Amino acid sequence: DTEVTQTPKHLVMGMTNKKSLKCEQHMGHRAMYWYKQKAKKPPELMFVYSYEKLSINESVPSRFSPECPNSSLLNLHLHALQPEDSALYLCASSQDPYSNQPQHFGDGTRLSIL
């Protein structure tokens, strides 16, 4: 069983839609991450939240908007996405951002843009 829960598991949306991806963890971790992953490629870091504050934004287009409402929740708001944004979106958490502790991953959301 995964300790990081992501919903939905699959999402199909048009380029004009607005949707959100949700990630939740109850391990008391204070760092949370969003990654984008294409098939057979490593995860690409998008955003890092440290103690509920955005600490890294890896030059991600503004059509992706992260939000961390509290220490257990992480959202990724999507708007006006492009077909090339179709990918697996992974959420991860770690004990704290600088501890060299492993990251724990969710199952991901498979996103398809029509």
Q: Footprint of another protein on this chain (CB under 8 A)?
A: 2, 31, 40-43, 45, 48, 50, 55-56, 88, 90, 92, 97-98, 100, 102-108, 110
DSSP 71: T
Q: How far is the CB of 98 from another protein (least distance, A)?
A: 6
Q: Kindly report the CA angle at 43 between 42 and 47, in degrees rounded to 5?
A: 155
Closer to another protein by Cβ: residue 16 or 53: 53
How many Cα atoms sit within 13 Å of 51 on the Cβ side?
1
- Minimum gap (Å) between residue 61 Cβ and another protein: 20
Nearer to another protein, 42 or 69 (CB): 42
d(CA 49, CA 75): 11
